[in-house]
């Protein structure tokens, strides 16, 4: 039985040598440490043992060193002259000399060999996990292309060329997209996490702004070459994105280069993102100008940046421009805010004196509209009835976090005021 265990251990050793992509010095150190650990467990100490690893052959030689003494006090470190002569057949030794004896693997016994094999496999797994973690940690932010191996309701699984698992959780998938087994998918390596003793959990993302930035680098050679710089990317995945670009060469039109002839470059990115609308804008360090460009096609009348960076930015527009500025579901104004890291409110610009003559403050409707609803409307910059009526009901519901039915009732009450 021990012979069989030794053969199994040697096979494991050879597999380790041939199949594991581990550096040679690391490999030798691990193997030596595993054997020395078992020696210490078996003999009480490994101080007088030498372990020689032959990685190429997949073999291990173990030597035990004894001091030759007259009287043995510790049989694991000492031998008498008579014992040495009997063991070696050599009578040239003297008291005080050192005698080295080669040990066979069988000397560890069945349990010892089993422990060595298990420890070796455990250390191999630990090194493999560390290598995978290091490999992908260094690639965070890079684009990854792989084939779908399995799909579930909450995530899809991808295997790389080495069989490592990569995951795209539902939260990192573009809304509305569906994958099938064997589909080829592109995503960005977002995070690498160690969860207990399992292999590293590698998360891919198709919703992060960095994913869109990497796609631009692939599709636009001027970005890859450094002639155009992507200054910032903001997204509402599946809906809309804004990409601020800048060129340090006056001869290069950064927006034209990103869009391509007849939209050839950007259309490939749009298709990859399931028809997500992408606005490419010229970057500027002037936040007011950047907001103005980000709110295109809406025309901005004026912008009030407030007194401190924490103040809300108030953007004033003509009534017929407000809907375009806010965008469907409020996404246009939200993305503009992300671009400058400020919260933006759109205000309907009313000519002087018009509001007093034709408009009505929301507070005047307190008997018909609950005060908490009025407060929510005022929080999004709607102080008057016409402020509310100038915005699409769906946008009002989303921005003010109100139910559609509530907004319908409000609209009905406000419209009735002017019809009367």
Q: Can you give the residue ranges of every domain in the chain?
A: 2-135, 143-207, 213-348, 355-419
Burial zone of 39 (CB within 10 Å; 0-12 exposed, 13-18 middle, 19+ buried): buried
CATH homologous superfamily of 213-348 equals: K homology (KH) domain (3.30.300.20)
Helices (H) and strands (E) in the chain, counts: 16, 15
For residues 344 and 303, is the Cβ–Cβ distance under 8 A? no
Cα 14 from Cα 32, distance rounded (Å):
15
Those residues whose C-beta lies under 8 Å from the C-beta of residue 57, and which sit 6 or more positions away, are none
Q: Does domain 143-207 have CATH number 3.40.50.12660?
A: no
* Per-residue model confidence (pLDDT) at position 3: 46
Longest dimension (CA), the chain: 125
Dist CA 272 CA 369 (whole Å) = 45
* 3-state per-residue secondary structure call for 282-322: ECCCCHHHHHHHHCCCCCCCEEECCCCCCCCEEEEECHHHH
Q: What dotted CATH number matches 355-419?
A: 1.10.150
Q: Residue written as tokens 């050793």?
A: 13
Per-residue pLDDT, 7: 43
Closest CA to 393 of 332, 321, 402, 350: 402
- Element containing residue 82 per DSSP (H, E): helix 81-88
CB 220 within 8 A of CB 228: yes
Gap between the Cα atoms of 107 and 153, Å rounded = 54
CB 333 within 8 A of CB 346: yes
pLDDT at 18: 52
> What distance in Å separates the CA atoms of residue 87 and residue 376, rounded to the nearest whole number?
94
pLDDT of 351: 58
Of 223, 291, 215, give the one whose Cα is nearest residue 256.
223
CATH of domain 2-135: 3.30.1480
Cα–Cα distance measured from residue 238 to residue 219, given in angstroms and rounded to the nearest whole number: 19
CB-based contact 176:274 (threshold 8 Å): yes
**How many angstroms separate the CA atoms of 322 and 330, rounded?**
11
Assess whether the region 143-207 and the region 355-419 belong to the same CATH fold.
no
d(Cα 301, Cα 292) in Å, to the nearest integer?
9
pLDDT value, residue 6 = 45
**Phi/psi-derived region of residue 50, left when phi > 0, alpha when psi is between -120 and 50, beta in every other case:** beta
Helix (H) or strand (E) holding 333: helix 331-340
Spans of the chain, pLDDT less than 50: 1-8, 355-357
């Amino acid at each position: 039985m021990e012979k069989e265990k030794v053969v199994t251990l040697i096979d494991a050793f050879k597999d380790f040598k041939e199949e594991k992509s581990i550096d040679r010095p690391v490999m030798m150190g691990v193997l030596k440490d595993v054997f020395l650990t078992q020696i210490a467990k078996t003999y009480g100490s490994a101080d007088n043992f030498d372990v020689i690893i032959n990685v190429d052959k997949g073999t291990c030689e173990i030597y035990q060193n004894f001091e030759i003494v007259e009287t043995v006090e510790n049989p694991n470190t000492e031998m008498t002259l008579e014992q040495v002569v009997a063991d070696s057949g050599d009578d040239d030794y003297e008291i005080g000399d050192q005698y080295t004896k080669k040990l066979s693997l069988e000397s560890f016994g069945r349990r010892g060999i089993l422990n060595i094999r298990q420890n070796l496999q455990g250390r191999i797994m630990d090194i493999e996990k560390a290598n995978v973690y290091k490999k992908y940690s260094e690639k965070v932010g890079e684009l990854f292309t792989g084939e779908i191996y399995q799909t579930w309701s909450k995530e899809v699984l991808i295997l790389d060329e080495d069989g490592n698992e990569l995951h795209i959780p539902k939260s990192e998938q573009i809304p509305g997209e569906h994958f099938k087994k064997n589909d080829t998918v592109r995503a960005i390596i977002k995070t690498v996490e160690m969860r207990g003793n399992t292999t590293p959990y590698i998360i891919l993302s198709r919703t992060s702004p960095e994913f869109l930035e990497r796609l631009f680098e692939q599709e636009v050679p001027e970005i890859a070459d450094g002639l155009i710089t992507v200054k910032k990317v903001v997204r509402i995945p599946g809906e809309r994105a804004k990409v601020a670009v800048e060129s340090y060469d006056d001869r290069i039109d950064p927006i034209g280069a990103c869009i391509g002839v007849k939209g050839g470059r950007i259309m490939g990115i749009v298709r990859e993102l399931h028809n997500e609308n992408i606005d490419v804008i010229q970057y500027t360090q002037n936040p007011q100008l950047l907001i103005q460009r980000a709110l295109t096609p809406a025309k901005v009348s004026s912008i009030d940046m407030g007194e401190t960076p924490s103040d809300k930015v108030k953007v004033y527009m003509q009534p017929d421009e407000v809907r375009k500025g806010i965008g469907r579901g409020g996404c246009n104004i939200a993305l503009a805010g992300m671009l400058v890291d400020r919260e933006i409110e759109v205000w309907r610009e009313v000519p002087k004196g018009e509001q007093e003559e034709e408009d009505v403050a929301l507070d005047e409707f307190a008997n018909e509209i609950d005060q908490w609803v009025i407060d929510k409307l005022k929080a999004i910059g709607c102080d008057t009835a016409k402020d509310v009526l100038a915005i699409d009901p769906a946008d009002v519901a989303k921005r003010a976090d109100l139910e559609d039915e509530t907004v319908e009732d409000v609209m009905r009450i406000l419209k009735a005021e002017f019809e009367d």
